[in-house]
Amino acid sequence: MSLRTFRARRTRLGLFTAGVASMALLATACGGSGSGTAAAPKNFSYLSVTENTTVKTALTSLSEGSCKSANDALPLKVETVPQASLDQKLQLLAGQGALPVQFAAGNAPALTQKLAKSGKIADLEAKLKELGVDDQLEPAAVSTIKALYGGKLEVLPYEYNIEGVFYNKKIFEANGLKVPATWDQLVASAAKLQAKDIQPFSASGQQGWPLTRLLSGYLYRSLGPDALKDVADGKAKLTDPQYVKAATEIAALGKKGYFGKGVGSIDYDTAMNQFLTGKAAMLYMGSWALANISDAKQDKIGADNVGFMPFPAVSGGKGSIDQYPSNVGLGITLGAKSFDKNTGAWVSCIAKNYGSKALKDHGSISGFKVNTPVTDANEVTTQVRDTISASKQNVLWFEALFGTKATTISQTNAAGLVSGSVSPEQFMQTVQDALSAQ
Amino acid sequence: MHRVLGDRRAIAILLGPALVVYSLIMLVPMVWSLGYSFTKGNSIDGFTGNGVANFSRLLDDPAVRHALWFTLKYAVVVTAGQVVAGYLLALLYVFFLKRASALVRTLVFFPVVLPTVAVGLLFQKFFQVAPQTGPVNSLLNAVGIDSIDFFGSSSSAFWVLVVMDIWRSMGFYAVLLFAGLVDIPEEVLESARLDGATGLRLVRHIVLPLSLPVLMSSLIFSINGTLKAFDSIVALTNGGPGNDTTPLTLYMFQTSFTYGDYGYGSTIAVLLTVVCLLVSLVVFRVSRRDLTEG
């Protein structure tokens, strides 16, 4: 072997070794971060979404009031991301073992369950019992959470909402309309309003879910409370005729222009604003909208002018008008790794005080007990609170039992359904395909 | 010099560091991504081997076909638009505006330095129908045409996207091609003029062949950029309506990060790499042939 080839070989070998070494280094760097060791948190870090201001404002005022001692030990630190990028952020943080102490747990319960299965989420039921505050949660809220999260208490009920249609009483009176009890009456009322150049509904097509909620509302009324559980269990398909019928009904509303122009580019705030400034007669929304309705700055038509009605019955349907879609808002949960004594102090303080604080300051109804009596800001809040306590059976929403992919696809295609660019059959087919691919 | 560069050790020392850096930041992630494409799972659940299941799924996935078709259509249309508009502008600078073109060049170049997201928002407002009527729809209304929901149907959303991307980048191609045109010796043009070639004939027979090399590099630039388009589409339509304007890049992103399916996302990335490689090879081949002949 000549000296030259020997050198060349040595160089090649050296390069190869360096390459392998660097790859190995990279491998350990990537693999190692997955399982961080538990370290006591320095902050009560809370990752929330930009869209929800109630929880973070209420928590901030608790940190200065009732929960001051918990806050002194573990200062509250709020961070927000847009709701649309929450799922990405959580998956990345979870992958790096860097989940915050408390966080909004994903747009679909499926993601939360995935996090729970891999042990990233604290066992809240056990923790609350340990802290002796498990009786601070409203049973209705707990049962809603369990229905959503496979029988487990995986999130805290910072919100407890029922959904229905908010309507503008003044517009209804001026046009001689009664609160519609059936779907046909609702459609007839919308037609009457449209004829008088009043936009019947405002809805956000950019978010998509305000539209798909109408779809599930119709399904629950026509097929009964198990309509979507059957789909999740594989007993029925969204492409079955009775399911497509619901999509056809909602698409028809859009076809007649009842959602106004360009529904696909209307975002949540704009839709809310259209209703609260009297530009639209009805708004399908959850009871969290009471916070906006009670806010005189936003609500130009006045809270006294807003009525609430359940999603109307479908003639001959198996569902009943008193089954309200309910939810606990965007689920908020706590990381398993960072749950220590200081975190516990925060949680028990929240459990005891959050209910009254949120109701008093924001008119927002939560699933925590209201320990300090609060007088309601307005009639419609009272009406909704009464409805919640009287409601016996709850139903879920359209995407509640879907995975992340089907949820996204359903919500991004909803605007197309009502603008006519996607046919009802196509819409249901697309969502069903995404469901089947899960 | 020859002795130094002929020595393999010297080559290793000179190239080594760059090669290591290149390998670490380019090759390793690519191989890594290829590795992921044989797995299933995500960073929460962990990864498990999945064989070639992702690749067979890729072949059956209508969303991939749709995204691939959209990507190619978008790349071809936008590239054609960018390069043609850029070339016309460059001709305008050189032959019409001549030395006075500095201001126009700056103005046309300006959108290139604007952040894509800002341009996306600008066009969104420009073409919007609700909650406010945008300038374009106002104009349509003024001449008696009903407002059009540009982002509500796939074809109009596509064209708004195309217009935006051409507007945004034509200044860059104009400057690039301008440099090529300025390079053409004045004497050649002069003698062609003396031979009676003016206007279009001059462009067709003298200017075009002489600026072909820089035209080719513009094409490669443009195709490479448009095949990987992501930010402008996310900012303007976010892939909507539905998934009508979703290119492969966005579908890959959604699959990996939104749906938490990293394995399949990597498989889509591999497909995108192959497409880019193929297109680059074709363009390279064509350009090499042209260069040797012309």
Q: Residue A278 has what pLDDT?
A: 95
ipTM of the complex: 0.79
Is residue A10 scored above 70 in pLDDT?
A: no
pLDDT tens digits for range B227-269: 999 999 999 998 888 889 999 999 999 998 888 888 999 999 9
8 Å CB contact of B152 and A262: yes
Q: Residue A373 has what pLDDT?
A: 87
Q: Residue B44 has what pLDDT?
A: 82
| pTM (2 d.p.) | 0.84
How does residue B87 score in pLDDT terms, banded at 50, 70 and 90?
very high
How does residue B78 score in pLDDT terms, banded at 50, 70 and 90?
very high
pLDDT tens digits for range A237-267: 999 999 999 999 999 999 999 999 889 889 8
Instruction: Write out chain A residues lying below 8 Å of B239, CB-based.
Output: 412
The residues that bridge with A349 in the sheet, in sequence order, are none
On whether any CB of chain A is under 8 Å from the CB of B36, the answer is: no
Among A412, A419, A429, A436, most B C-beta atoms within 10 A, so best to mutate, is: A412
Mean pLDDT estimate for chain A: 88
A280-286 and A199-201 as β-strands: parallel, antiparallel, unpaired?
parallel
Q: How many angstroms separate the CA of residue A278 from the nearest CA in chain B? A: 14
Q: Cα–Cα distance between A192 and A175 in angstroms, integer?
A: 8
DSSP string covering A370-420, please? --S----SSHHHHHHHHHHHH---EE--TTTTS-HHHHHHHHHHHHHHHHT
8 Å CB contact of B260 and A419: no
Instruction: Write out chain A residues lying below 8 Å of B130, CB-based.
Output: 260-263, 265-266, 270
Q: How many angstroms separate the CA of residue A422 from the nearest CA in chain B? A: 8
Query: What is the average per-residue pLDDT within A38-64?
Result: 89
How does residue A31 score in pLDDT terms, banded at 50, 70 and 90?
very low
A 353-412 residues inside an 8 A Cβ radius of B? 403-405, 408-409, 412
Is residue A284 scored above 50 in pLDDT?
A: yes
On whether any CB of chain A is under 8 Å from the CB of B10, the answer is: no
Of A88, A118, A403, Cβ closest to residue B44:
A118
Q: Cα–Cα distance between A202 and A367 in angstroms, integer?
A: 28
For residue A193, give the amino acid letter.
Answer: L
Query: What is the average per-residue pLDDT within A392-399?
Result: 88
Q: Residue B59 has what pLDDT?
A: 92
Query: What is the average per-residue pLDDT within A122-140?
Result: 92
Mean pLDDT estimate for chain B: 89
Closest by CA to A219, choosing from A227, A211, A208, is A227
Instruction: Write out chain B residues lying below 8 Å of A414, CB-based.
Output: none
Of B130, B239, B257, Cβ closest to residue A260:
B130
Per-residue burial over B217-238, b = 16 or more CB atoms within 10 Å of its CB, e = otherwise? ebbebbbebbbbbeebbbbbbb
Q: How many angstroms separate the CA of residue A382 from the nearest CA in chain B? A: 32
How does residue B9 score in pLDDT terms, banded at 50, 70 and 90?
confident
Instruction: Write out chain B residues lying below 8 Å of A26, CB-based.
Output: 24, 28
Of A26, A91, A261, Cβ closest to residue B149:
A261
The residues that bridge with B95 in the sheet, in sequence order, are none
8 Å CB contact of A26 and B149: no
Which region among A103-117, A408-422, B280-294 has the lowest average model confidence (pLDDT)?
Answer: B280-294
Is residue A5 scored above 70 in pLDDT?
A: no
Instruction: Write out chain B residues lying below 8 Å of A7, CB-based.
Output: 8-9
Is the Cβ–Cβ distance between B202 and B193 less than 8 Å?
yes
Instruction: Write out chain B residues lying below 8 Å of A259, CB-based.
Output: none
